[in-house]
Structure 1
Amino acid sequence: MSAPTPTRVHYHRKAQELELGYENGESYRLAVEYLRVFSPSAEVRGHGRGQETLQVGKKFVGLKDITPAGRYALKLHFDDGHDSGLFSWDYLWWLIEQREANWADYLQRLEDAGASREPLGIEIRQL
Structure 2
Amino acid sequence: MTAPIPTRVHYHKQARELELAYADGECYRLSAEYLRVFSPSAEVRGHGPDTATLQTGMKYVGLKNITQTGRYALKLHFDDGHDTGLYSWEYLYDLATHKDAYWADYLKQLEAAGASREPLGIPLKSV
TM-score category (smaller protein):
over 0.9
Return 5+ residue gaps in structure 1 as ranges: 123-127
Shift of 1:49: 1.1
Rounded Cα–Cα distance in structure 2 between residues aligned with 1:23 and 1:99: 20
Residue of structure 2 in register with 1:15 after alignment? 15
TM-score by length of 2: 0.94
Q: Does 1:52 align with 2:38?
A: no
Give the partner amino acid of 1:109.
Q
The CA RMSD measured in Å over matched residues stands at: 0.8
Q: Distance in 2 between matches of 1:113 and 1:121?
A: 18
Query: How far apart are residue 26 of structure 1 and its match?
Result: 2.0
TM-score, length-normalised on structure 1? 0.94
Structure 1 segments of 4+ aligned residues over 2 angstroms from their partners: none
- Identity across the alignment (%): 71
- SS of residue matched to 1:34: helix
Structure 2 stretches lacking a partner, 5+ long: 123-127
Q: What SS does the aligned partner of 1:82 have?
A: coil
2:49 partner letter:
R
| Cross-structure match for 1:68 | 68
Aligned length: 122
Write the deviation string for residues 80-115 of structure 1: whole angstroms up to 9, x where unpaired.
000000000000011011111100110000000000
